[in-house]
Amino acid sequence: MMMRNIFLSIFLIVNSGCAAAIVGGAAVGAVAVSQDFATTSVDVNYKRAWSIANEQLKKIGEAKRTFQKIGEINAIVEGSTVRVKISKLTERTVDIKVSARKNMLPNTELAQTILAAILRKLQ
């Protein structure tokens, strides 16, 4: 499990396109935060992750468009345009990526807050 977390952390840093900060979390693996998004992989099935992400976005904002087949939810939260992308990695693991922009500028703090809300409900 430890090697998986280390590998995941390195993978997220390399693939983020810019420097990323890693915040550890045993149940979640690692959360990568870049200038444009917050992302993590979680041991949960796709259907549950999709349902919880939708539920959380509806609580804190307004879901505008949802595309379950491709795993994308677009919403407006606190005046920011939010995009949640859920990708199935295995039958029991998904990647959740949250990006938020306000006035065309990244709102990383909001992206982290939304991802944290989703993760709290998933545990």
**Token digits for 112?**
């982290």
pTM for the whole structure: 0.75
Q: What per-residue confidence (pLDDT) applies to 113?
A: 95
Domains of the chain: 35-122 (3.30.530.20)
Convert the pLDDT of each residue in 54-90 to its tens digit.
999 999 999 899 999 999 999 999 999 999 999 999 9
Opening angle at CA 25, ends 22 and 27, nearest 5:
140
3 band by pLDDT with thresholds 50, 70 and 90: very low
Helix (H, G, I), strand (E, B), or coil: what is residue 40? strand
SS3 106: strand
Confidence of residue 91 (pLDDT cuts 50, 70, 90): very high
